[in-house]
Amino acid sequence: MRAWGGNRLQEAVEGCVAVLRTAVDRDWRAVRAGRLEWNCHETAFHIAEDLIAYAANLAGRAQDAYVPFDITLDEGTDNTGLLHVIETTGALFAATIRTTPREVRAFHPYPFRSANREGFAAMGIAEVLAHTHDIAEGLGLTYEPPAVLPEFVLTHIFPHVQPGPDHWRTFLWATGRGDLPGRAPVTEWRWRNNLVIPAGRLTLQGITPASARDLVMGGDGGFDWIEGGPFDGTREASGFMLKAYEGGLHQPEFGVFALVRREDGRAVGGMGFHGHPDEEGRTEIGYDLAEPARGNGYATEALRALSDWAFARDDVRTLFATIDRANRPSQAVVTRAGFRQVSEDEEGLAYELQP
């Protein structure tokens, strides 16, 4: 899976500037931007502010807050000059995305207080698409970006939104800017970057729908795998997750995680839930490792961390795992992680863990 974020961001900015350039002779301060309270000039400047702020956080590896600076326009800057600012901040952000290593995460306040380079790219593209739409609506311009751009946003930072028949209309609906047949209007919304859980020598990195699709198709999902990875179980689990996403049943926190070594940023396996908890708070966990990574205690560390994370929630009361009789190493993993065997049948051994 190639890192497309920088190219996609640049494409979004170019589309924004192209459509707004057709109306540079208009008074943008006198026209409200779509459904926003801002006028078109304020909204266009907001695009530039977002682009440079995201670039700064990613380039500066900000961890606890936005980098403390702001930008201003020179007095007398006209609409053409403002578009030049959007082009420039977009170019700086795209270059930052392209040159940032895959394992870098930087601050963003919600929902999990961090994002990687693809997450930042998706957030930037979302800002450009949404606010170009707002300005175009206010000025009476026709604007519709290439479908690949809203698709990139939806599959990276809107994993909780069921895909619709049209990526652009789905994006507008998800951001409170349009309607979709059969769906209630959206009045409050937020995107969701992937969850990352620390686990000793590893991090558990939530797999997005975009990554899941790539894994199902035989790609790497955007991760740097050790030899022998990803194992078949990770691809299969990604397939189940993708079906849940397409069916509108996916809850990102109860999806699939890649197990990534801290020392070198390489993925060694996968772990995740078979679905969200049932009414009794029960949910099943599964996992696998690439063969060269086995026997190092990685699965036990990851399982303990994921279990601790799950039990810190109010909706999880029991974790269970079903393991084949012949798979003694996996039985040892769940036992070391505190699970106890509760039953046995033809399908295998059932293990359970409670807080």
DSSP class of residue 173 equals: H
167: helix, strand or coil: helix
- Residue 64's alpha-carbon distances to 127, 224, 288, 303, in angstroms, are 22, 27, 33, 27
> Which DSSP letter does residue 320 get?
E
Give the Cα-Cα-Cα angle 18, 20, 21 (nearest 5 degrees). 65
Please name every residue paired with 341 in a beta bridge, in sequence order, or none if there are none.
Answer: 351
* Structure tokens, 273: 């839930």
Given 3.10.270.10, 2.40.30.10, 3.40.630.30, 1.10.287.180, which CATH number is that of 196-353? 3.40.630.30
Tokens of 89: 């901040």
Residue 295 DSSP code: T
106: β partners? 115
The pLDDT of residue 4 is: 85
- The pLDDT score that the predictor gives to residue 266 is 97
The string of DSSP codes covering 157-179 is H-TTSPP-SSHHHHHHHHTTS--
348-353 and 256-261 beta bridge pairing? unpaired
- In CATH, what number does 5-174 get? 1.20.120.450
User: Would you list the domain boundaries of the chain?
Assistant: 5-174, 196-353
pLDDT in single tens digits along all 355 residues of the chain = 677 899 999 999 999 999 999 999 999 999 999 999 999 999 999 999 999 999 999 999 999 999 999 999 999 999 999 999 999 999 999 999 999 999 999 999 989 999 999 999 999 999 999 999 999 999 999 999 999 999 999 999 999 999 998 999 999 999 999 999 999 999 999 999 999 999 999 999 999 999 999 999 999 999 999 999 899 999 999 999 999 999 999 999 999 999 999 999 999 999 999 999 999 999 999 999 999 999 999 999 999 999 999 999 999 999 999 999 999 999 999 999 999 999 998 878 999 999 9
Cα 316 to its chain centre, rounded Å, is: 23
Which of these, 143, 118, 164, lies nearest to 14 by C-alpha position? 143
Phi, then psi, of 106 in degrees rounded to 5:
-130, 170
In 10 A of CB 3, how many CB atoms? 16
β 282-289/318-323 pair status: parallel
